[in-house]
Structure formats: structure tokens, C-alpha cells
Amino acid sequence: MAYRRDIVFHGAWYANHNRYGGALGRSWGCFAVDEKTVHPLINTIKDNTLVFVYYPDRNWLNHSRFLVG
């Protein structure tokens, strides 16, 4: 659903370990990364790369239909 929701990687001034103790703030579901990192990151993943992201929830990891055990 990322395409339908326009989920993207983008640079953000607040996505920095030196600010707010590393808190990334709100990005409406997008992946906010350090502005120095965003262009090399996008160039690395731009050609049909799968990005797998999850919250470390043990129940989800044990029961997700997306993961093969």
C-alpha cells in the first residue's frame, strides 16, 4: 500500500542523531532520514528494491503471513 499512500524516503532536518536525542518526529508514515543520507540512499534503492520495515513486535514476528518460518 506504500504506492497508494505515497510513502517515500525524504530528507528531514529533524532526522539526525544530534537533534532531540535521535527522535525523528512525525513524518505521516514516510521514512524521514538525515538530509546528508537521503540522496545516496535513494540512489541505492531506486531500482526495484524491497524495503522491509517493522516494529519489533514478537507476536507479529511469530504470526505474520508475510514471513516464512
Is pTM beyond 0.75? Reply is: no
Question: What is the pLDDT, as a whole number, of residue 22?
Answer: 54
Query: What would the pLDDT profile of 2-23 be if each residue is shown by its tens digit?
Result: 778 888 889 988 887 776 555 5
In the predicted structure, residue 63 carries a pLDDT above the cut 80: yes
Minimal CA–CA distance to 6: which of 30, 26, 22, 34?
A: 30
Q: For residue 39, what pLDDT is reported?
A: 94
Quote the pLDDT of residue 6: 83
Cα dihedral: 27, 30, 33, 36 (round 10): -110
